[in-house]
Amino acid sequence: MKKKKALWTSTFREIYQSKARFISILLIIMLGVGFYAGIKATGPDMLHTADTYYKDNKLMDTKLVSTTGLEDKDIDLIKGDSKVNIVEPSYSLDVLTEENNHVLKLMSYSSDKNELNLPVLVEGKLPEKEDEIALDTQVLDNQIYKIGDTISIQKDDSDSVSRDKFKIVGFIKSPIYIDNVSRGYTTVGKGTIDYFGYVKEDVFNLPVYTEAYIQYKDTAKLESYSKAYNLAYDKDIKSLKQTLKNRPSEQLDKMKKEANEKLDDAKAKIADGEKQLSDGQTLLSEKEKELNKNKQLLEAAKQQGMPVDAAQEQTLQKASKTLEAEKKKIEEEQQKIKESKEELATSQKKVEDLKEPTYHYFSRDDNPSYSEFQDNADRISSIATVFPVFFFMIAALISLTTMTRMVDEKRGEIGTLKALGYTNFEIALKYIVYSTTASIVGSLAGLLIGYNLFPSVIFDAYGSMYNLPSVIITYYIGYTIQSVIVALLCTLLASLFVLRVDLLSTPALLMRPKAPKPGKRILLERFSWLWDRFSFNQKVTARNLFRYKQRMLMTILGIAGCTAMILTGFGLKDSIGDIVPLQFDKIWHYDATVTFNDDSTTAQKEEYAKIKENDKNITSSLDLSQNNMTVVKKGYTNREVTVDVPKQEKQLADFITFKDRNSDKKYSLNDNGIIINEKLANFFDVKTGDDLTIRDTDNKDVTVKVEAVVENYVMNFAYMTPSYYEKIFGEKPDYNVELLKFDKSLSEIKENELADRLIKSNYAGNVSFTSQIGKAMDDTMSSLNIVVWVLIISAALLAFVVLYNLTNINISERIRELSTIKVLGFYDREVTMYVYRENNILTVLGILVGFVLGVLLHGYVLKTAEIDMMMFPTTIHPISYVLSALLTILFSFIVMLIMHRKLKHVDMIEALKSTE
């Protein structure tokens, strides 16, 4: 019993007496576990926070829109679907504000009816009267309006709303719009919605609902973004489409019936008009005959010299004028009937050409902010699959080195305990407790810091992009167990691995100190012309480096690992920051994209052309046929691709640069094949000269030849000439898009004004500016930069602990040697430099090796973190190498100052005592 008590006392005394070593192991484990658990938890925490927000505010699963609106019968059918939980019909209308010509999306609100997409009140109250409105918080953020202000809208000719002035009573958020930038597209104004507002349902004067929001029974409790949710949604939407499959034909029949009834009324009116006209013509003919007869009698009387009554002559003249007027009236009626018949024929043609209304089913994924948030969370999760593993590898390496040193120091003690009769397990228990305690305490501290710090910092970085509540911290059992197990493997396994030799040795061998390494000639000594030029200190440094190869290797690898992670962090920052300038300055040279309306008239097209011609900012334009298609290949996941066909193919180079990313070789379109972007080529493992299969919107597969693979970072594109398009698809391209170039950059206000003018022609359906797209992407990338800084700082902290630990072990191993040279008269500074000459060389070597590892790790992380529609440039800027090296050197210098103080206070007598 006393033996065990003494052993436990020795164990805890060891922890106390070697606080620096114990804390260094603890810190290594804390950093590794904290980083692993924290980064791993961030992605799931982001998604869980968003999911909780969606559930609390009952975000819809499907938004249903019809080209002819939705009727009560549609709503009743949806309610009857067994999979539908809630259906909420709604009204909305995009209007322009009088004050600033902004596009406002008016949405209906009813406190007793609204069950889905519940508005989140930020300030004020929700509308209670018809003259009240609650506005998007984006207005509040931009300080455009405040509570109590009046907002006026430009009413259209249809009087779709009953009033044009509203009093602002509150500011709200909506689960439909979780980002702070996009509010969707519209055919009103400049083509994009600025903000939304909720008004009472009674404000709308619409005959049908504009949309219906739907929630399903089996998705209500499923986690958003999960595979289970997506699978359930696919089944539910299939059921809904089946429920409404007959509605388009019913709607068409109804529309034709109503139209034909109106046509029948028109026909009846025309028939009545024709009958009345015929009767009028008959009566007029009789009147004309009577008048002509009276005229003839009067003329005969005059010829016979009979007296003529002047009054009678005047009566005949008056009757003649009246008859002429009646004739003219009948001719006008004939013209009207003719026009009515033409209109009737046109109307009949329109009725015959009527098509079934289209029902559009929009899922949550069709909302860009919803899917973009998942992309951001997935990027974090992708980074979390690489970085933490590297973190733990470094931690394991340093823990092994530290425990090896500890066991070496305790050889004599182990031998003594074996001689006293302690079992191997009892002896090993001390090191098991030591390493396990450091692991458990470090793991708990790391878990506590990691779970709370990393998700909060990273989620807050996205705060400027999304209007979600604070992140919900979750402690994941899986990550916790993984972290603790790996931490124990790093220390406990290292201890047992090192102990195995000593525990199998005899007490006599263990109680004698290890024989020092024999002196050997090193390779450099064979080059006498170089060796002879070395000073004494330089020769000592060289011998120490090459004699203790294990220490040298461990130090180089430890420093290299940390430098590699710091460089990867800076490299990620470079890659993220380079996307926007590379894509929007060096590759795309156009300033705006105009999408045309399919049903535009020739007059509207001419008006658009006139507006464009009169705008001095527009210097050139290029017509494009742009279609979204799918690239398919057996064994690969399908990928969406935008197929662009320029009408004026020779002008394309002025708008888009096609070049190889590595060689800078430029390409142009020809009639032999297509040009695709590099990411698409890499994904399908194709190169120049290979064939690729593209599936069009009619699910028809065509095979194309790849003529060139070019640099591109955003979205997937395939470019081809009009003749090649016609050759492979069997039809001429439909030019539905136009690219515009400006003579200089325009302000956002000028861009909006231009978009407003172009859209008013009704030929332009939407106008998007590359500057605004680039800005939005820049905001997204800037948020990801915060994540990168978290990685850099974490790697830097690990680098500091690793350098401290390695240097501390180095000095502890050589304390007798250092005490000896102090006794010989070396100054404190000289003693420190005696050690640090070696450290400086190893640090430089570690940095160089770290650069190589960093480039490899950077490339791997980029490949892992990339999303389908984006490619990161792999270039690391020279300044990143410099900063990574300087940080490592800085930490090495700080450790040197700490160790210098320690060396100044070394007890030389104690250190030089014999160990016999």
pLDDT in tens, 211-262: 999 999 999 889 999 999 999 999 999 999 999 999 999 888 888 888 888 8
Residue 118 has pLDDT above 90, yes or no: yes
Q: Which of 355-364, 736-745, 808-817 has the lowest mean pLDDT?
A: 808-817
Residue with the two structure tokens 């009116």: 269
Nearest to 854 by CA among 585, 584, 568, 598: 568
Asked whether the beta carbons of 47 and 224 are under 8 A apart, the reply is yes
Q: What is the pLDDT averaged over residues 822-848?
A: 79
What 3-state class would DSSP assign to 142? coil
Asked whether the beta carbons of 491 and 25 are under 8 A apart, the reply is yes
Q: What is the pLDDT averaged over residues 336-356?
A: 83
Q: Which of 329-338, 515-524, 848-857, 889-898 has the lowest mean pLDDT?
A: 515-524
CA distance 572 to 547: 38
| Predicted local confidence at residue 124, as pLDDT | 92
Residue 709 has pLDDT above 90, yes or no: yes
Residue 351 has pLDDT above 60, yes or no: yes
CA distance 793 to 570: 10
For residue 387, the surrounding DSSP H or E stretch is: helix 387-409
Mean pLDDT score of the chain: 83
Q: How many residues make up the chain in this entry?
A: 916
CA distance 330 to 281: 7
For residue 430, the surrounding DSSP H or E stretch is: helix 424-461
Residues forming beta bridges with residue 103, ordered by sequence position: 96
CA distance 620 to 655: 9
Alpha helices in 590-715 (DSSP H): 602-614, 678-683
Q: What is the pLDDT averaged over residues 390-418?
A: 78
Alpha helices in 515-593 (DSSP H): 528-531, 536-547, 549-581
Amino acid letter, residue 39: I
Residue 3: CA atoms inside 13 Å, Cβ hemisphere, count? 9
Nearest to 720 by CA among 752, 696, 750: 696
CA distances to 200, 360, 597 from 186, in Å: 22, 16, 12
Tens-digit pLDDT profile for residues 494-547: 788 888 877 888 887 877 777 666 666 777 777 777 777 777 777 777 777 776
Q: How confident is the model at residue 60 (pLDDT cuts 50, 70, 90)?
A: very high
Q: What is the pLDDT averaged over residues 99-107?
A: 85
| Predicted local confidence at residue 215, as pLDDT | 95
| Predicted local confidence at residue 534, as pLDDT | 77
What 3-state class would DSSP assign to 514? coil
| Predicted local confidence at residue 780, as pLDDT | 66
What 3-state class would DSSP assign to 256? helix
Residues forming beta bridges with residue 646, ordered by sequence position: 624
Portion of the chain with pLDDT greater than 90, in percent: 25
Asked whether the beta carbons of 632 and 701 are under 8 A apart, the reply is yes
**Following DSSP, what letter does each residue of 30-68 receive, concatenated?**
HHHHHHHHHHHHHHHHHHHHHHHHHHHTT--SEEEEETT
Residue 744: CA atoms inside 13 Å, Cβ hemisphere, count? 3
More confident residue, 514 or 81: 81
Instruction: Please give the structure tokens belonging to residue 475.
Output: 């402690």
Q: Which of 305-319, 372-386, 463-477, 824-838 has the lowest mean pLDDT?
A: 305-319
Q: Which of 297-301, 355-359, 554-558, 747-751 has the lowest mean pLDDT?
A: 297-301
Q: Which of 362-366, 436-440, 625-629, 745-749 has the lowest mean pLDDT?
A: 745-749
CA distance 742 to 181: 24
Asked whether the beta carbons of 460 and 46 are under 8 A apart, the reply is no
Q: What is the pLDDT averaged over residues 662-687?
A: 90
| Predicted local confidence at residue 848, as pLDDT | 93
| Predicted local confidence at residue 329, as pLDDT | 83
| Predicted local confidence at residue 916, as pLDDT | 46
Q: What is the pLDDT averaged over residues 614-634?
A: 87
| Predicted local confidence at residue 173, as pLDDT | 92
End-to-end CA distance of the chain: 30
Which distant-in-sequence residues (6+ apart) come within 8 Å of 102 by Cβ?
Answer: 96, 144, 189, 194, 195
CA distance 140 to 197: 12
| Predicted local confidence at residue 44, as pLDDT | 92
CA distance 755 to 190: 4
Asked whether the beta carbons of 454 and 790 are under 8 A apart, the reply is yes
- CB neighbourhood size of 141 (10 A): 12
Instruction: Please give the structure tokens belonging to residue 43.
Output: 């992605």
Tens-digit pLDDT profile for residues 869-890: 778 888 899 999 999 999 888 8
Residue 781 has pLDDT above 70, yes or no: no
Q: How confident is the model at residue 480 (pLDDT cuts 50, 70, 90)?
A: very high
Tens-digit pLDDT profile for residues 44-58: 999 999 999 999 999
DSSP state of 356: P
Residue 390 has pLDDT above 60, yes or no: yes
Burial of 238 (0-12, 13-18, 19+ CB in 10 A): exposed
| Predicted local confidence at residue 182, as pLDDT | 77
Residue 609 has pLDDT above 90, yes or no: no
